[in-house]
Structure 1
Amino acid sequence: MKMIDQKGRIFGVINILDLFLILLLIGALIFAGIKFTQGDEVVSGPRTQKEVTYVLYNSAEHPFVVDQIKKGDVLRNKDNNAKIGEVVSIKKQPGKVAVTTADGRMVMSDVPEKYSVYITVKTKASVSGETAVGEDGSALLTGSKVSVKGPKYLIETLISEVNLGDK
């Protein structure tokens, strides 16, 4: 018996093109299975645990909220109550927001009786290359929205700066 007959079938059972397509489909399924079960994180080197600092920013907050924020406060993620770090310093400035003028330009405008607040937080993070993952398991990325709660307050912030400690 020939391995490939005149109709192009292997041992007279399956066509070569059909076998190729089946193998290609099996390979794609294996690749997809590996891709979806192993997560998306791309590791750019070994992970190390280290203390990092980052700055949380809120552009216009009420003074009675800002006055509650104290150095040493433990901050937690509003959604899952996981610890995100400890307040190292607080800097408050007059509140500002972006507004559109009548001619369509965007300008920063003062907000009376509100503060812009910068909260510096220290945390233990898992660092790999230029990326860090905080104590609560979330990535410390500039621009990320973070809802934090302290002992007596809840505040919506953005991460404005991340310092991995190597600069």
Structure 2
Amino acid sequence: MDLIDDKGRFFGTVNIIDALAVLFVLAVVAAGTTFVLGADDQPTNAPEALTDNSTNTTTIVTLEITGIQPYVADAIPKGPIDTDRITAVENKSVRPTEVVVTAQDGTLHEQQHPRKQTVTLRVSLNTTTTEDDLTFGDKPLEVGRQLTLDFGQVTVEGTVTGIANEN
């Protein structure tokens, strides 16, 4: 007795296409059940999950945004900002982005990019302070973290290089 006969049936009784269809349906049902039942095990970072010991604070953050076009740097506003996450841009400095280039002899040299700019911002952010953590956007605020800030007319991503409480 062959595993699959000349009519395409397993052991002469079950059609192989039907068997694959049943296995596919079972796999989909198992994946759906795992997705639905496994969702309750996920920790939540929602603001409602904050403890009673948390307080809203304003934190001054130094942010470095590298390799952006001049029109993006110009579009970053300075002064008060009307958003839930950003209070104000306290200071903004713009300089050419430094890049490393390889010379024909293989040596590395640092030089200014002809167009791209680096912007350093000192920004007041609305943060949450708990006993152990300072958070922004439901994630810990720490030096080296990448932040995406939406200023309305422009959205930029930069690296936190310094943190100071305003309190």
**Aligned residue in 1 for 2:56:** 49
Distance 1:49 1:65, change over 3 A: same
Structure 2: which 5+ runs fail to align? 1-42, 45-52
**Aligned residue in 2 for 1:132:** 134
Which whole-Å deviations, capped at 9, do the CAs of 1:35-90 have from their partners, x for residues lacking one? Answer: x79xxxxxxxx6443321001111221111111111135387xxxxx624432221
**Aligned residue in 1 for 2:155:** 154
Conserved? CA contact 2:61–2:160, under 8 Å: yes
Q: Higher helix fraction: Structure 1 or Structure 2?
A: 2
Q: CA RMSD in A?
A: 3.7
Conserved? CA contact 1:146–1:157, under 8 Å: yes
**Aligned residue in 2 for 1:6:** none
Residue number among 78, 94, 97 corresponding to 1:95 in the alignment = 97
Q: Once the two structures are aligned, what percentage of the paired residues are identical?
A: 21
TM-score (norm 2): 0.55
What is the aligned length? 123
Matches within 5 A, 1:1-167: 47-72=54-79, 74=81, 83-99=85-101, 108-128=110-130, 131-134=133-136, 136-165=137-166
The code of the aligned residue for 2:88 comes to E
Q: Is 124-133 or 152-161 further displaced after alignment?
A: 124-133
Find the aligned partners of 2:80 and 2:166 in 1 and give their Cα distance.
Answer: 21
CA drift at 1:141: 1.2
Conserved? CA contact 1:54–1:159, under 8 Å: yes
CA drift at 1:99: 4.9
Find the aligned partners of 1:119 and 1:90 in 2 and give their Cα distance.
Answer: 5
Find the aligned partners of 2:82 and 2:114 in 1 and give their Cα distance.
Answer: 27
**Aligned residue in 1 for 2:25:** none
CA drift at 1:156: 2.1
Find the aligned partners of 1:109 and 1:152 in 2 and give their Cα distance.
Answer: 31
Which whole-Å deviations, capped at 9, do the CAs of 1:91-125 have from their partners, x for residues lacking one? Answer: 11121234566787765431112221011110232
Distance 1:154 1:51, change over 3 A: closer
**Aligned residue in 2 for 1:26:** none
Which whole-Å deviations, capped at 9, do the CAs of 1:117-153 have from their partners, x for residues lacking one? Answer: 011110232234674112x323211111122221211
The code of the aligned residue for 1:145 comes to Q
Find the aligned partners of 2:166 and 2:82 in 1 and give their Cα distance.
Answer: 20
